[in-house]
Structure 1
Amino acid sequence: MAFAASLAKLQAEASCPICLDHLRDPVTIACGHNFCPSCIHQRWESLQGTFPCPVCLHHCPDRSLKRNTQLCYMTEIVQQIPTSGSQRKLQEEIPLCGKHNEVLTLFCEKDLELLCSQCRFSSDHQDQPLIPIEEAAASHRRMLKRHIGALTNNLKSAKTVYKNQVANTWRVKRMMEKWRKELEFECKELKCFLEIEPDEIDNYLLIEEKDVEEKLIENGRQISYHMFRLNNLLCEIEEKCLQTDLDLLTGIERIHNSYGNLETPAVFSCELKKESYNLPPNYLGLHKMIRTFQVDLTLDPETAHPSLIISSDRKSVTYRTPEGLPDPQALTAYPAVLSSEGFDAGRHFWVVNIGGTGECLLGVCKESVSSDTLISPSPSNGYWQYQQKNEVFRLFCTGQRKIGVFLDYELGEVTFYNLNNRSYLGGFSYTFTEKLVPYFSIAPSSESLTISIIRVK
C-alpha cells in the first residue's frame, strides 16, 4: 500500500498541474514549477506585465520558459510503468475544481475554500488572501493542535464536574435518607407524645377537680354553720325587742357579745387554670429556627482560663492542667471561656458538639462580667446557663452530643436543645439590659472532654 501511494505521488509529479496529463516536453518557469508548454502559454495568453505561477502564484517577470530535459526523460519512464487498479483509484481520487476541472492548489483564508489557480482570477476571489494548500494546511494544522489542547483541558474539566455531580447525587441520596430517618424518628416521638400527654393532662385535671371539690364542700359547711348562727341570733334579738324593759336588759351582755364576735367565713375562690395541650418546642420549627438564626462563633483566647486549651481555629476548647499551676481544685477562677462575638439585640442560634466524657456548662453572660470572676457563675452575678429544678445544669456527656442554644434578646429567653434527637432540654427567661456573650465551661475533672463550635444544615 505504501509503495502504491509513493508510485501515485511520482506519477503526479510527472503530470502537468494544468491539464493533469503526463508532461509533454516539460518546461520550467522562474519559480521552479513545471508545465506543458502549450498549457502555460494558454494560461498566460491574455496577461500583461507579470505572469503568476498557476501553482504557487509567484509572479514571473516574463514569459521565459526553460526546457526541462531530465524531467522529460523521467516522464517517459513513468509512462512506461503499468498502472494497477489501486493506483488508478488514487489518481482518480485527486480532487479537482468543480468550475475549471483543474487541480486544487490554493486556499482562500476568508471563505475557507479550496481553489484552483484559475479561480484566482474569478471576481468572487479577487483581492482575497489566497495561499498554497501546503501553507494553509500547516497553519490550520497548528490551529487544530491548539484546539486539541483546549478541548483536552475542557474534557478533563467536564469529567471532573461530572464526577463531582455523580458524587453530589449520592450525597443528596444519603442526605435525603438521613432526613427521612430523622423524620420517621420525629414522627414516632410525636406519636408517643400524643399518646402520653392527654393521659397526663387528664390525670392532672382529675386531681385538680377532686381538690377543688373538697375545698368547696368544706367552705359550704362553714357558710352553712354561719347562716345557722345568724338565724338563731336574729330570732333571739327579735324576741328580746318585744320584752319588757326589765326582761330586755336582763342578759343583754350575752347578746351583745354574740353579735360582736360574729366572724364571716372566707369564701373559697375556685379560679381554675385551664390546662393547655402544647406540642414540645422542637415541633414548632426547630429546623427553620436553625437555618434562619444560626451564627458562626469563635472563642476569645484572652478570656480563657489558664487550664483551657483553645484550638488554632478558635472553634474548640479542651481542659488541660498547665504545668506549674496548682491543683485544679485550688484554682479560684472558674474554668471558662467566652465567645469573641456578643449580642445586644435580635435572635441567635449556635450549636456545639461535646465529645468525650465529663461535665460542662453552656450559656450566656453579661459582657461586663470579668472572665476571672472568683465565684461560680449564676444569674445573680451576670451568668445564665441551662438550669434544671432551679439548680445549675451540669451536662455530663459520654461520646458525642450536639447541643443547640437559642437566644431571643428582646423576648428575654435562652433555650437549649438536644440536637441528637431534636428534643427540648429547657430554658429560662430574664430581662436583659446589656450585651450578652456566649459562655462555655468545662469542669476540672473532665480532661477528656472537648467542646467544639460547629455549623449544622
Structure 2
Amino acid sequence: MAFAASLAKLQAEASCPICLDHLRDPVTTECGHNFCPSCIHQRWEGLQGTFPCPVCLHHCPDRSLKRNTQLCHMTEIVKQIPTSGSQRKLQEEISLCKKHHEVLTLFCEKDLELMCAQCRVVSHHQNHPLIPIEEAAASYRRMLKRHIGAFTNHLEVAETVYKKQVANTWEVKRKMEKWREELDFECKELKCFLEIERDEIDNDLLIEEKDVEEKLIENGRQISYHMFRLSNLLSEIEEKCLQTDLDLLTGIKSIQNRYGNLETLTIFSCELQKEFFTLPPHYLGLHKMILTFQVELTMDPKTVHPDLIMSSDRRSVTYMTPHGFPNPQDLTSYPAVLSSEGIDAGRHFWAVKITGTGEYFLGVCKESFLRNTLISPLANNGYWQYQLLTRTCGPVPRGQRMIGIFLDYELGEVSFYNLNNKSYLYGIADTFTEKLMPYFSIASSSESLTISIIRV
C-alpha cells in the first residue's frame, strides 16, 4: 500500500497542475513549478506586467520560461509505468476544485475551505490567509488531538454525572418507597384510632339512648297518671254543676282544694348530646409544623459522654451496658451529648428515632449548662427535658419509636410529639434568655439504646 501511494505521488508530480495530464515538454517558472508550455501561456493570456504562478502566485517578471529537460525525460519514464487498480483508485481520489477543475492545494483559514491556485486569483479569497493543505492539515490535526483529550475529560465527567443521576434516581425511589411505608403506617395508625373513637362514641350513644328511653317511659307514666286525675276532677266538677245550690256548696271546699293543689306536669326534654368525631389532637398542625420548621442537626463530638459511641456522620449515639463492675460515678452521672447547632431565636423542629431498650431524655439546655456532671438536669438548672422509657413490647415495634421536639424560643415553649401516631405527648413553658442547645441523653441503667437524629 505504501509503494502504491508513493507511485501515485510520483504520477502526480509528473502531471501538469493545470491540465492534470502528464507534462508535455515541461517548462519551469522562476519559483520552480512545472507546467505544460501551452497550459501556462494560455493561463497568462491577456496579462501584462506581472505573471502569477498558478500554484503559489509568485509574480514572474516576464513570460520567459526555462525548458526542464530532465523532468521531460522523467515524465516519459513515468508514462511507461503501468497503472494498477489501486493506483488508479488513488488517482481518482485526488480532489479537484469544482469551479476550476484544478487540484486543491490551498486552505483558506478564514472561511475554512479548500481551494485551488486559480481560486486565489479570481475569487473572494484573494485577501484571505491561505496556507498549503499539508500545513493546514498538520495544524488542525494537532488541534483535534487536543480536543480529543478535552472531550475525553468531558466524557468522563459526563459519565460520572450520569452515574450520580442513576444513583439519585434509585435514591428517589428508595425515599419514595420509605415515604409510602410511613404513609401506610400512619394510615393504619389513623384507622386504628378512628375505629377506637367510633366504638367509644357508639357505646356512648347506646348508653344515652337507653337512658333517654327510660326517662321517656317514666315521663309517659307520669303524664298518664296526670291525665287520669284531671279526668276524675273534670267529671266531679261537671256533676257538681248539675246539683242544687245547697248540694253544690256542700263539699265545694274539697273540690277547690284538690283543684288548687294539682301539680304542674313536667315534660321531659329528649334532646340528645351531639358527639364530635375528630382527628387526633395536633395531627394536621404537626404536618405543617414539620414542613415549615424542620432543621438539620448534628451532634457535637466535643460534648459526647465517654460512655456514648458516636456514629461517623455525627447523627446518632449508642449506649452499651459496660461489662464487669460499673464505675460508681457512671451510676449517678448523665451520659449525654449536645447538638453542634445552638438556638437563640425563632421556631425549630427536629426528630429522633430510638432503637433498643432503656430510658432516654430529650430536650434543650442552656449553652452554659454543665454537661456530664452530677448536677440534676432540671429546669432551674437550665435544662428542659422529657423523660421516656422504651421497651421491647408494646404497640410500637422495636426500633420504630420516633419523637419530635418543637422549640418556640420567643414563646418560651418546648413541645414533644409521638411521631408514630402523630400525637401530642408533653409540653414545657418557661422564659429563655440565652442560647439553647438540643440535648440527647441515655440513662446509664439502659441495656442497649441508640438515639438517631432523622428527617421526617
Provide TM-score, normalisation by structure 2. Answer: 0.70
Distance 1:424 1:362 in 2: 17
Note if contact 2:334-2:444 (Cα within 8 Å) is conserved in structure 1.
no
Distance 2:302 2:92 in 1: 90
- Displacement of 1:299 after TM fit? 3.9
Distance 2:350 2:127 in 1: 75
Q: Read off the aligned partner of 2:449 and give its amino acid letter.
A: L
Secondary structure (helix, strand or coil) at the match of 2:406 reads strand
Distance 1:204 1:296 in 2: 45
Distance 2:49 2:85 in 1: 45
Q: For 1:394, which of 373, 389, 401 is the aligned residue? A: 389
CA offset digits 1:318-361 (Å, max 9, x no partner): 45899xx9824566543333334443443211123444543321
Trace 1:68-87 onto structure 2 (pairs within 5 A). Answer: 68-83=68-83, 87=87
Deviates more, 1:65-74 or 1:198-207: 198-207
Distance 1:299 1:22, change over 3 A: closer
Q: What residue is the counterpart of 1:128 in the other structure?
A: 128
Q: How many residues align?
A: 392
Distance 2:77 2:7 in 1: 12
Distance 1:52 1:402, change over 3 A: farther
Q: What residue is the counterpart of 1:264 in the other structure?
A: none
Q: What residue is the counterpart of 2:159 in the other structure?
A: 159
Q: What residue is the counterpart of 2:292 in the other structure?
A: 292
Q: Read off the aligned partner of 1:106 and give its amino acid letter.
A: L
Name structure 1 gaps, 5 residues minimum: 212-271, 387-391
Q: What residue is the counterpart of 1:190 in the other structure?
A: 190
Note if contact 2:106-2:132 (Cα within 8 Å) is conserved in structure 1.
yes
Distance 1:303 1:274 in 2: 55
Distance 1:196 1:4, change over 3 A: same
Distance 2:453 2:173 in 1: 27
Distance 1:29 1:157, change over 3 A: same
Distance 2:177 2:320 in 1: 39
- Displacement of 1:316 after TM fit? 4.1
Q: What residue is the counterpart of 2:444 in the other structure?
A: 444
Distance 1:342 1:112, change over 3 A: closer
Trace 1:205-284 onto structure 2 (pairs within 5 A). Answer: 277-281=277-281, 283-284=283-284
Trace 1:32-111 onto structure 2 (pairs within 5 A). Answer: 32-44=32-44, 51-59=51-59, 65-83=65-83, 87-88=87-88, 90-111=90-111
Note if contact 1:54-1:117 (Cα within 8 Å) is conserved in structure 2.
yes
Q: Read off the aligned partner of 1:105 and give its amino acid letter.
A: T
Trace 1:302-321 onto structure 2 (pairs within 5 A). Answer: 305=305, 307-308=307-308, 315-319=315-319
Distance 1:55 1:337, change over 3 A: same
Distance 1:284 1:18 in 2: 91
- Calculate the aligned-residue CA RMSD, in Å: 4.1
Note if contact 2:409-2:432 (Cα within 8 Å) is conserved in structure 1.
no
CA offset digits 1:369-421 (Å, max 9, x no partner): 443664533446543322xxxxx4334576575432222345554333455x4
- Displacement of 1:16 after TM fit? 0.4
Note if contact 1:413-1:427 (Cα within 8 Å) is conserved in structure 2.
no
- Displacement of 1:23 after TM fit? 0.4
Q: Read off the aligned partner of 2:437 and give its amino acid letter.
A: V
Q: What residue is the counterpart of 2:250 in the other structure?
A: none
Is the counterpart of residue 426 in structure 1 residue 425 in structure 2?
yes
Q: What residue is the counterpart of 1:255 in the other structure?
A: none
CA offset digits 1:55-94 (Å, max 9, x no partner): 2344556655443333222211222234456655544443
Distance 1:279 1:327, change over 3 A: same
Distance 1:68 1:175, change over 3 A: same
Name structure 2 gaps, 5 residues minimum: 212-271, 393-397
Distance 2:6 2:401 in 1: 81
Distance 1:381 1:171 in 2: 44
Secondary structure (helix, strand or coil) at the match of 2:94 reads coil
Note if contact 1:19-1:39 (Cα within 8 Å) is conserved in structure 2.
yes
Distance 1:446 1:440 in 2: 14
Q: What residue is the counterpart of 1:8 in the other structure?
A: 8
Distance 1:97 1:344, change over 3 A: closer
Distance 2:115 2:373 in 1: 94
Distance 2:278 2:428 in 1: 19
Q: What residue is the counterpart of 2:146 in the other structure?
A: 146
